């Protein structure tokens, strides 16, 4: 079954502390993994995708196929990072590809001053 | 580019009424996705459409729900005879034509449906 698991509903850290938002997935094939972020009163927006191997706003995420994980990390949290973070996967299937996204339930990151 | 537009932002319906949710994709995007977010849950895929075609409706409830993306105009998600359990946030996303590679989806602000 295709599934994305984000075990933490809420992660509270102090400004300047490291952050790791956990994401594990289940998928039979080669998925593409994403992190989406939703700031207060804003729409959901893409933060990063694993195939880009880029760092956005100081965040990075490495796909670990052995552990089926795609954890989001930032070495020093900022107050403006406070938001809802969703991990998602997309699986391309042969013969009728569809890029539907499968989302985790989200983790609310609260960065305290 | 105004981004993905959804209207209305808030919709209140009584049980048994019909709800129509509209989504205008970003300029140049020909693919539309609908997702539903129930309270305390993540977004769940409902349907994927291209102009005049339903590509994947594996997430759509079998009854009362339908979606279309006509040649002209916005995509419409229609819920007939709404029930309290339909109360949720409905998000639309769009993406450009896919040329074999992966593309990501741009999301609208959502429509919050409340059934009383």
- pLDDT per residue over B66-112, tens digit each? 999 999 999 999 999 999 999 999 999 998 876 555 567 899 999 99
Asked if the C-beta of B56 comes within 8 angstroms of chain A's C-beta atoms, the answer is: yes
């994980």: which residue's tokens? A69
Closest-CA residue of chain B to A106: B42
CA distance B54 to B49: 4
Full DSSP string of A28-84:
SS-EEEEEEEE-TTS--EEEEEGGG---BTTBEE--BTTTTB--EEESS--GGG-EE
CB A13 within 8 A of CB A19: yes
pLDDT of A19? 97
- pLDDT per residue over A10-57, tens digit each? 999 999 999 999 999 998 777 889 999 999 989 999 999 887 777 889
CA distance B116 to B102: 40
CA distance A105 to A102: 10
Averaged confidence pLDDT in chain B: 91
Residue A96's pLDDT band, with cuts at 50, 70 and 90, is very low
- Residue A93 pLDDT exceeds 80: no
Closest-CA residue of chain B to A44: B107
Higher pLDDT, B51 or A84: A84
**Three-state DSSP state, A62:** coil
CB A70 within 8 A of CB A64: yes
Q: Spell out which residues of chain B touch residue A92, defining contact as CB-CB under 8 Å.
A: 102
Asked if the C-beta of A105 comes within 8 angstroms of chain B's C-beta atoms, the answer is: yes
Residue A8's pLDDT band, with cuts at 50, 70 and 90, is very high
Residue A95's pLDDT band, with cuts at 50, 70 and 90, is very low
CB contact under 8 A, B42 and A99: no
- pLDDT per residue over A79-91, tens digit each? 999 999 999 998 7
């Amino acid at each position: 079954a295709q599934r994305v698991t984000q075990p933490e509903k809420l992660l509270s850290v102090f400004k300047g502390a490291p952050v790791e938002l956990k994401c594990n997935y289940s998928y039979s094939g080669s998925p593409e993994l994403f992190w989406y972020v939703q700031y207060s009163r804003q729409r959901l927006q893409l933060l990063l995708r694993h195939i880009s191997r880029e760092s956005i706003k100081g965040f990075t995420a490495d796909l670990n196929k052995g552990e089926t994980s795609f954890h989001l990390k930032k070495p020093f949290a900022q107050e403006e990072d406070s938001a809802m973070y969703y991990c998602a996967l997309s699986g391309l299937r042969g013969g009728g590809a569809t890029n539907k996204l499968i989302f985790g339930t989200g983790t609310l990151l609260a960065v305290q001053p | 580019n105004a981004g993905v537009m959804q209207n209305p932002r808030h919709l209140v319906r009584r049980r048994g009424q019909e709800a129509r949710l509209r989504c205008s994709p970003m300029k140049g995007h020909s693919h539309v996705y609908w997702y539903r977010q129930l309270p305390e849950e993540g977004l769940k895929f409902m349907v994927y459409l291209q102009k005049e075609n339903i590509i994947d409706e594996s997430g759509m409830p079998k009854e009362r729900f339908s979606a279309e993306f006509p040649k002209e105009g916005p995509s419409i998600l229609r819920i007939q005879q709404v029930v309290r359990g339909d109360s949720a946030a409905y998000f639309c996303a769009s993406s450009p034509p896919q040329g074999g590679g992966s593309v990501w989806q741009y999301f609208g602000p959502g429509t919050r449906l409340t059934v009383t």
